[in-house]
Structure 1
């Protein structure tokens, strides 16, 4: 495969490993389980530790199997470099641990995955101010900025209510202000959207979800798109300024979040994720088509009070989603009318599996207010638009007619 030629998304992922020599001609990068790396010349070891020579120091900071996955993610996002972590939450936590200091300020979308919301709440108790805003309108983000704002953080499509951030205008605002724009791309994936196109400096992916796609490995990543000027970020330690300026951010994140904090991805999980990623485009095309069919059917049924899916013209940010995304994702949520118990509905499903995950090949369903958002309480849920009957659906690759019939029959008799 000619590395200088531009190939399509799936072709690039399939042949990514072969861009570098692979042991014994293997088609996949092998699983390297060693945590230590020996050198024949002690001076080489010192050069690697000092960053003067490429190589591996210790498994917590890097691994050949993980590096091969990082290369794949970088190609997916058309970025400069990627660091992989043990989970998606570890990747988001790395932002706070490696880049923020007491007195800093973060502006975050108020429409967040429950654990991300919890993490920012924890961070706000450690001397870092966090402002939650409705990021569907850039004006709300701009109004929240202060001289100490270091990061603006949004999800592309919010989990679970599917609000879509005003991504292009927020990106322009951050460019104008010299602020690091961080976009969580998990709900869209690099196949449906590249946050680099709206000016994101760092991109988060929970690799567990659509990229791995089979519910058999945890992982997360941060990708530097190469767009952010790290000389504008005041929290870079002098130690990491010995690298070229575009490398400052990732050098500090790798040291502080992997070497010091230890949120490292293991080689076995990295291998599962890399293999799963090969079929991401094929899976997402089916999942997005299934999600659209289910959303249309449910919205037309009088027993359903509301359906939240960016692919529907009724969605408040349908126009933004249509402009930015190549499809509308595999996640949606819906509310039942009064008189239909959400637990009874879920128990009548034959194919939808009650479980907490996203991006699986199987369709997964969960009663949001009673599970993943229960801890935040009714007041915070209401502020996020989460009804007590809200059901989140992560749509799988089952046959479309089977899924539509299953979700229809579970509504019960007319």
Structure 2
């Protein structure tokens, strides 16, 4: 099975950065682009710096909004956009992500308090993924931290995070700034992404080292990233220069603008959950514990034995109540919210009909030729039908999903790139625990 890109990347400058270190013992890597939740009310939506350039490609006139910015569901035909992501060169407006700068002698300490990203281990030019948790260990957001200089960092989040950031820097010698509205960010994805960027002046070393260059006199920055199975580059530059940069890319490479529908399929193929879609943000569950990193399939992004981030102590004490499983479903289409049943196993479904969860998100994947998505299972309801080691159905048990045509479609676990990272982390934790017990 083909998978996404590696999970740790390097950024900043033309210099090469040494390889070989894992981030906090975790297989980190090239960032996985994840968007925040959408809103259908476009009356208050703003235009991103790239909106004017991309809007002229819109034939479908199908729009949504992300973080208050208008964003296309698709510009033309879905299959053309999906093909550009996987076989050509796709352009995605990443300006809708939120970005913050942190500068000062204690900037690294502030980020280590705020998120589980391996901030302390990053050299200038390196990036690492992480999670932002609340005090009870619930996941509020996914994030990426890039060390631009010894005392300068770039924080990228899927949703506005200024409140948590303000709390994290209290008492520390660090200056923060919300810079998202001043920047444009363009993602180029697909096999032709690197050549397209190079043709426009964004030269990136073949081994993945990023570059800081001047393009048409504009200070710009390029770094490796990925969107599901599709690897690419993120280009960041001043917002008021967005149209000039896009025009240069259009003339030299003609990448195809791609909307959220094709991006969602690529994301699901890579197996990374989306906040507020595949799990509720911790901020959205007042009075309840939000989903833990392990419950959403991302324990490797919050290693409790390697860092001291907010929520770490709570994580060590709380058991998993749910598991989020990337699944390939034997149906062309499945609706979010469809019931998930365990068949052939000893479940403890309170309803008595085998229902143990629901589909959180699902799309038809041309690559897998069927529906893929995330199914969430209540472990208490599943009982002994779920293996506590692998978080997969035991032999003899099957996951079935209520399909649109009324039949129960078989759902098999999809071993995505993200799932493999989580499985490797769980094995290391289990082996370490067994070694400690043997020593006693």
The TM-score with structure 1 as length reference comes to 0.32
Structure with the higher fraction of residues in helix conformation: 1
